[in-house]
Structure 1
Amino acid sequence: MDESTELPPASPVSVTPSPLSSAAVATATAPLSPREVRTVEQAKQIVEARGLSHVKVGLFDNDGVMRGKYMSREKFFASLDKGFAFCDVVLGWDVQDQQYDNTRYTGWHTGYPDAPVRILPHTCRDVPFEEGMLLFLAEFDGASEAVCPRALLRRVIQRCEQAGFAPFGALEYEFFVFDETPDSARAKGYRNLKPFTPGWFGYSMIRNSVHADLYHEILELAERMDFPIEGLHTETGPGVLEAAIAVDDVGAAADKAALFKTFMKVLAERRGLMATFMAKWSNDYPGQSGHIHLSLRNKKDNSSAFFAEGQPHSMSETQRHFLAGQQRLMPELLCMVAPTINSYRRMIPGFWAPTHATWGVENRTAALRVIPGSDKSQRQEYRLGAADANPYLALAVALGSGLYGVEQGWEPGKNVEGNAYAQEQPQELALPRTLWDAAQRLKQSQAARDLFGDAFVEHFAASREWEEREFRKHIGDWELQRYFEII
């Protein structure tokens, strides 16, 4: 289940005060806030103003896991100007730091050299747990861009903008919280874990009042780190919460989602708790979604590219084509949205996860949900997404496949009404049932190669084949031990 997410109103035009105004003087002397940083010089300025000897720099790997380090001020300033080097093994290993043996980009055959990385000044953020500390995101540069998840999404966004659209998105995450620590969970073999709260109690006012201090801390963290939460509530299941992150342009939405997942885990562990974003951690409870809301606006006049007053469900021709692209390509691109062995435990009938590439109007049993509205709120929801997906790749699929449909002029199939799980669907809409099968579909997809490039498709598909082979080496508790803390 999820909340509605509307687009924010268009930003007003800013007016620069005259050089003699008091506002200009105040602006010139007031210290920058992290979210005002846009340039290399401003990044240096805020670090100097805070007197920091070190800052944090992080990037995201294949699986959306944040990797990074503290960097001295001198090194950071030099890296802002010229970039820095980061071992490319983070693009060549799995969630347990085991190196792939089947990829071309990097591996034992290349010796794991350093790859160029650029720091992104506009991603500057406070780290609330470390007084005065700043965090900057980075992105692989040069040849490594071809397989870097964040760079991949950036290329899809550029393609969308070249087509005349500005894409907006928001993600919603369900996640379970446990009264455990990494040590206690390991000691128990990830069995018989104690949920933070008992029972099935969705939208509970009792739970969010009794534990208001935790909720307030989550909301405050989200505000300070600029992934503000539009809605936060209990979901159906013991200890499960759902957070809807506020809408933004798609690039910023991906950063916000990736940071939310990382720092929600940090906050939980600092409180002696654990949060997991596994797609499905228990056979007894529903899986955990990572639903994606998307819309396009016309760059020429900032009007909605999806809204058409008077048309069925207020859908424009562009939205129909966009929907058709998402529907037709979903089976081919599935492993980028369902990237773990565990992802496929969630996609079973009756547990709020789609099993076919269906669409419906305000229908939460379909894989794609059209949400009629106004110029500001007309959008659609990619409901197939699970909480374990890399946000950059999930958004690249949801946006890229829709854009491909617009480019091709495709039309969607018939929408489903009622319970989509209980209805027969065409075979071409069936989703792969295993990670291995999904990886093969990705490798065979010409659309994927057109959208994402041969280098990425070959690299990511190989990484999913590796993941499936690792699974086949193990039985029983392997999934929980592998994914519980990290994904």
Structure 2
Amino acid sequence: MEPSEVKTAEEALALVEERRLNHVKVGVFDIDGILRGKWMGRDKFASALSKGFGFCDVVLGWDSNDQLYDNVQVTGWHTGYPDAEVRLLPGTCREVPFEGDMLFMLAEFAGKWEAVCPRAALRRMIDKAGSMGFGVKAACEYEFFLFDETPESVRAKNYKNLKPLTPGFFGYSALRSSVHADLHLSFIEAMEQMGIPIEGLHTETGPGVMEAAIQVCDALEAADRGALFKTFAKVFFQRHEIMATFMSKWSMDYPGQSGHVHLSLTDAKGKPVFHDAKAADTMSDTMRWFVGGQQALMPELLAMTASTVNAYTRLIPGFWAPTDSTWGVENRTTALRVITGSPAAQRVEYRVASADSNPYLAMAAALGSGLWGIENRIEPTPGVVGNAYDMKHAARLALPRTLWDAAQRLKRSKAGRALFGDAFVEHFAATREWEEREFRRHVTDWEMQRYFEII
């Protein structure tokens, strides 16, 4: 049996027995999209498949630096940090590259913690789509920079004067991909082994930057693939003494790094519903309302797709990232790019999401807002033709300029609360407020250089 064939707990156990494994790797993604995992003994694994298991709920109560949030309710010192209920997901069973026959399985928070679980937030949006008669197809694509560095060397250098894997601006370079063919092909093969098929891999514009497009599939699996891709891309390259970073912007000299989400809907029989050959731009009413909802709610839900302080340095004019909630047909200066073509290929690309966003939450925001648009028949503004950066847009389309402002917009969003629930909105917004406050506690190099002597 292959890991991709596992659908039930019984099949998962049979595969563990077949491979004579004493341990299995399990993991769950936290609020920032960071994989938190551990080895689990075979007997414990068998028990967890049927009864679930406990995972210290601090993983929902600390930030990406393991610092405890001081303003969340679902966990904290006031609860004593008990174990959260977690259920294993047999259908996510995968092989782990580089580790022989080792198996890996994702888990999801349950019980009261399910209300703030990122994967569960997306699953609820997919269920909502199902209740409206739609299936959801999705794919993630990521830009990431590669450095000829190690975790030790970047710290020794204090993250300054880092050496990119390759020099200069050289997008879509056949030269670079040929020189590094062994590395690139090994990476593609490793992702394939993990059940993360790469549809396209190429150099982007900037030193050492790559872009990977992951193959389309059902939305929940697409988000699993995206989240696992980010983790195991880092693992793969660190094993080659190379570091990959998915932070939104590591240098103001180069474009930021995106984490675009592609979405389309089907009917109950699997037929695409976004394409109408007789309509303008072949956009069906369903697609037009979907885009309308995404456009209307993007400013309110931005914290879910630009979830770090650093993400807001990416959202500036002229650097391939949006500054307003705009849309256009095949227009990469807008926040929403409608891609037309055959019924199966027609989709919308949610371009505002950054590479460091949590794939589950970015996809949940993109999907949930689109479904809200269909429910309410929201008409989008006229599509942008030309350079969106050079145009003046309605004030209501302006995106928040800081993470703090984005968190406040989310807290005030009636649609956001209706889609994701009060518990999720309060928890997630509080974690983003914490992130901004942590940033404000630090003095930057820019401030030192600008103010130390002269001011």
Normalising to structure 1: TM-score of the pair?
Answer: 0.91
Shift of 1:305: 1.1
Q: Deviations over 1:8-66 (max 9, x none)?
A: xxxxxxxxxxxxxxxxxxxxxxxx10000000000000000000000000010000000
Q: Tell me which residue corresponds to 1:263.
A: 232
Q: Tell me which residue corresponds to 2:175.
A: 206
**Among 383, 389, 413, the residue aligned to 1:445:** 413
- Asked if 2 retains the 8 angstrom alpha-carbon contact of 1:189 and 1:477, the reply is no
Identity rate, percent: 64
Q: Tell me which residue corresponds to 2:449.
A: none
- In the TM superposition, 1:60-99 aligns within 5 A as 60-99=29-68
Q: How many residues align?
A: 446
SS at match of 2:260: strand
Q: Tell me which residue corresponds to 1:22.
A: none
Q: Deviations over 1:385-406 (max 9, x none)?
A: 1101000000000000000000
Aligned-partner Cα distance in 2 for 1:365–1:470: 32
Q: Tell me which residue corresponds to 2:319.
A: 351
Q: Tell me which residue corresponds to 1:430.
A: 398
Code of the aligned partner of 2:257? Q
Shift of 1:177: 0.2
Aligned-partner Cα distance in 1 for 2:26–2:192: 20
Shift of 1:475: 2.1
Does 2:185 match 1:227? Answer: no
**Among 455, 462, 475, the residue aligned to 2:430:** 462
Aligned-partner Cα distance in 2 for 1:302–1:211: 40
Aligned-partner Cα distance in 1 for 2:55–2:259: 29
Q: Tell me which residue corresponds to 2:450.
A: none
Q: 1:250 to 1:477 in 2, by over 3 A?
A: farther
Shift of 1:302: 2.1
Shift of 1:128: 1.3
Does 2:11 match 1:39? Answer: no
Q: Tell me which residue corresponds to 2:163.
A: 194
Q: Tell me which residue corresponds to 2:453.
A: none
SS at match of 2:229: helix
5+ long unaligned stretches in structure 1: 1-31, 479-487
Q: Deviations over 1:214-268 (max 9, x none)?
A: 1011110111001100000000000000000000110000000000000000001
Please, what is the CA RMSD of the aligned residues? 0.8
Code of the aligned partner of 2:223? A
**Among 360, 367, 370, the residue aligned to 2:338:** 370
Code of the aligned partner of 2:210? L
Aligned-partner Cα distance in 1 for 2:78–2:196: 40
**Among 229, 239, 250, the residue aligned to 2:219:** 250
Q: Tell me which residue corresponds to 2:451.
A: none
Aligned-partner Cα distance in 1 for 2:15–2:372: 41
Q: Tell me which residue corresponds to 1:25.
A: none
Does 2:278 match 1:310? Answer: yes
- In the TM superposition, 1:384-399 aligns within 5 A as 384-399=352-367
Q: Deviations over 1:339-397 (max 9, x none)?
A: 00000000000000000000001100000011111111111110111101000000000
Shift of 1:477: 5.9
Does 2:252 match 1:283? Answer: yes
Does 2:126 match 1:157? Answer: yes
Aligned-partner Cα distance in 1 for 2:313–2:81: 34
Code of the aligned partner of 1:429? L
Aligned-partner Cα distance in 2 for 1:158–1:370: 24
Aligned-partner Cα distance in 2 for 1:121–1:202: 39
Q: Tell me which residue corresponds to 1:166.
A: 135
Aligned-partner Cα distance in 2 for 1:477–1:227: 39
Q: Tell me which residue corresponds to 2:87.
A: 118
Aligned-partner Cα distance in 2 for 1:302–1:467: 41
Q: Deviations over 1:112-170 (max 9, x none)?
A: 11111000001000011111100000000111100000011111100001100001110
SS at match of 2:159: coil
Q: Tell me which residue corresponds to 1:415.
A: 383
**Among 49, 59, 65, the residue aligned to 2:28:** 59
SS at match of 2:81: coil
Aligned-partner Cα distance in 1 for 2:445–2:409: 28
Aligned-partner Cα distance in 1 for 2:358–2:205: 24
- Between 1:375-384 and 1:321-330, the stretch displaced more is 375-384
- In the TM superposition, 1:472-483 aligns within 5 A as 472-476=440-444
Code of the aligned partner of 1:427? A
